[in-house]
Amino acid sequence: MHSTLVRVQNVFGFFTTVAFTVAAVIALSTFIHPQFPSATVQLRNVQIVRGRPNYYSYKKEEYAHIKFSLDTDLSTLFNWNTKQVFLYLKAVYPPNKAGQPHSEAIIWDAILPAASAPWHQNHYIHPDPRKSQSKNSKAKNKVKAKGKAAGLDSPYKRGELHLSDSNPKYRITDISGKLQNRTDVRLELGWNVQPWVGALTWANKNKYGVWEALEGGESDKFDFPSIGGKKKADDLATEKGQEGHRLEVGGDQPIKRGS
């Protein structure tokens, strides 16, 4: 006869084996879920300022303020194993010296929760264009909390965003302290899918099985202006020899993947 301790160990070992097997099956099953994300990123304007970019900065330096428009359809990133998606928009530009890697700085980010994820104050709530925004911050918080509780936190499906002339969350600086007149800058969208179980997955630039590569997700290249200067998307297009061509601002219609 086995002792009570041995029986408990056997039951616990069997339970952990089953739990691990089920978790592994759930994690691997997400790789058969098709993904075809798409996004459009457009620069609206960019300005270089010299000063203290943050209240805790101890010296003045050059920083960039970049306004953008963003349209995404990342709904296929959400499946039965998705807890949340960390979405971010970064500015990528070449270094001053040859041979060094490109610099990357995040100007905006958001946490997009799945329907089953518990509510958190840092979850992103898409501004509803059908409702006027209240000037009272407390009223805003109450409206957002009620909308979240009712499942009406966004007028669009999960993973779909339509931001027009949006301000950045972060002002970016460079380790050299200088940003003006830097060339070949672009805005690039990225994300990190955080599952309930399994490995983290990042923005895919290539096709993997039923996972299609991100369609779009990068802006046209532009240059940082001089200090005090301000460039708009139309001005940058003119400098690139694209007179008469205006960048389109994303509408309220979902992005459809081309054939």
- The whole-angstrom separation of Cα 250 and Cα 256 is 13
In degrees and rounded to multiples of 5, residue 211 shows phi and psi of -95, 110
Rounded to the nearest 5 percent, the helix, strand and coil shares of the chain are 20, 30, 45
Same domain, 5 and 57: no
Mean pLDDT value across residues 73-93: 94
Same domain, 120 and 51: yes
- Residue 247 in any domain: the answer is no
Residue holding tokens 């759930």? 26
- pLDDT tens digits, 199-235: 999 998 888 889 999 999 999 999 999 987 666 666 6
Amino acid at 86: F
- Residue 38 in any domain: the answer is yes
- Residue 9 in any domain: the answer is yes
Q: How many CA atoms lie within 13 A of 145 on its CB side?
A: 7
Same domain, 114 and 7: no
Q: Quote the pLDDT of residue 150.
A: 39
- Residue 258 in any domain: the answer is no
Residue of 80, 73, 54, 57 whose CA lies nearest to 65:
54
Range of the domain at 97: 33-239
- The strand pair at 215-216 and 38-51 is best described as parallel
Same domain, 89 and 215: yes
Residue 242 scores a pLDDT above 70: no
A 10 A CB-CB count for 144 gives 16
